Amino acid sequence: MNSLRGAAYIVGAYEHPGRELPDKSVAQIHAEVAIGALADAGLTLADVDGYFCSGDAPGGVIAMADYLGLRPKHCDSTDFGGSSYVALVGHAAAAIAAGKCEIALITLGGRPRSGRRRRPPTDAPAFVFEATYGHNNPASYALAARRHMHEFGTTSRQLAEVKVAASLHAQHNPNALLRNPVTVDEVLDSPMIADPLHRLDCCVITDGGGALVVASPAVQRDLPRQAVKVLGAAEAPKHTDGGRIDLTHTGAVWSGPRAMAEAGVTPGDIDYASIYDSFTITVVQTLEDLGFCAKGAGGQFVGDGALVAPYGTLPVNTDGGSLCNNHPANRGGMTRVIEAVRQLRGETHPAVRVPDCRIALAHGTGGWLGTRMGSATLVLGQEDA
């Protein structure tokens, strides 16, 4: 099969309600979200014949399959940074289309809030040189933000609009870590972390996790639960290009058009978007790269409530996103897919429910926006899309 459109369906989704879980192991969180997603689908662990998790899972995919008592015919442990769990939905759909499995379970769990902070990876060839000059996660994104401001006139007030929209959504999510709405001025008055990014421009750090169940059309037809069709998926790395890096774009310039072409849609067809919001600048650049606005126009695009559900130009991250709701194990792609599923099922809070949501996009960003990163884009639709 040359296209994934209609090759598989998301039949189960579950987000762990906890945001601080000091008394649970990471493996236990994986198990709890697995059982939750399978129950949502009307299935059990015994039904699973494909298992997917990323490199952050304890002991990797083999150890976790053992822990969960699975006997999968197909496994995948792709690590694409924060976009891993968006990419893995596409991988699961491809495996199902190829006949490798029929019911794929994808699990995420982490304890970065209550557990020991995970140090940044030091095995990238260039990291030893970058670390000498103070490279870290916020600094990398701040470099991209400052360059975007220099090239296109983007302002800190415009970046703050992304946080404001997320906070307006999070007030309706009882599990969100930060539920209080904030203003642009409050974002700008928060402490500076890495110029020009303030504390409220940065994502939260939480424990928790989530899981998805992806199934073949034959399995989906026999399940009572409303399913979500996988329409298109793509991924792309973006790196330093031997030192000739352009800080103003992400890998979404490649993954977005490919995923939408496979789905047979354009940016104008998307009713709702889940965009990985590790920092506010991530959303601005990603919206441009996905084609929702012209390059350099992201700052203007996000103003005047454009991202606010239900009636903004493009409602984004209606659960509060990683900026306010949940960011377990630095793998926010999972929660982006889960919220897209909720919108397509009509299961979000009525205050943020997008009317007649038929096509949704989920996008993940992994790595560092200012150096090496990977993008994964997923287009989802109603069962009859």
Residue range 232-255: mean pLDDT, rounded? 91
Residue range 241-255: mean pLDDT, rounded? 90
Residue range 237-264: mean pLDDT, rounded? 92
Q: pTM of the predicted model, to two decimals?
A: 0.96
Percent of the chain past pLDDT 90, that is, above it, reads: 87
Among 69-73, 157-161, 192-196, 364-368, the minimum mean pLDDT is found in 364-368
Residue range 161-182: mean pLDDT, rounded? 98
Percent of the chain past pLDDT 70, that is, above it, reads: 97
Quick one: pLDDT at residue 368?
86
Quick one: pLDDT at residue 245?
86
Residue range 88-103: mean pLDDT, rounded? 98
Tell me which of 106 and 368 has the higher pLDDT: 106
- pLDDT-derived band at 219, boundaries 50, 70, 90: very high
Residue range 172-193: mean pLDDT, rounded? 98
Please say whether the beta carbons of 80 and 234 come within 8 A.
Answer: no
Asked if residue 119 has pLDDT above 70, the reply is no
Quick one: pLDDT at residue 117?
54
Residue range 371-377: mean pLDDT, rounded? 92
Among 27-41, 108-122, 269-283, 297-311, the minimum mean pLDDT is found in 108-122
Asked if residue 112 has pLDDT above 60, the reply is yes
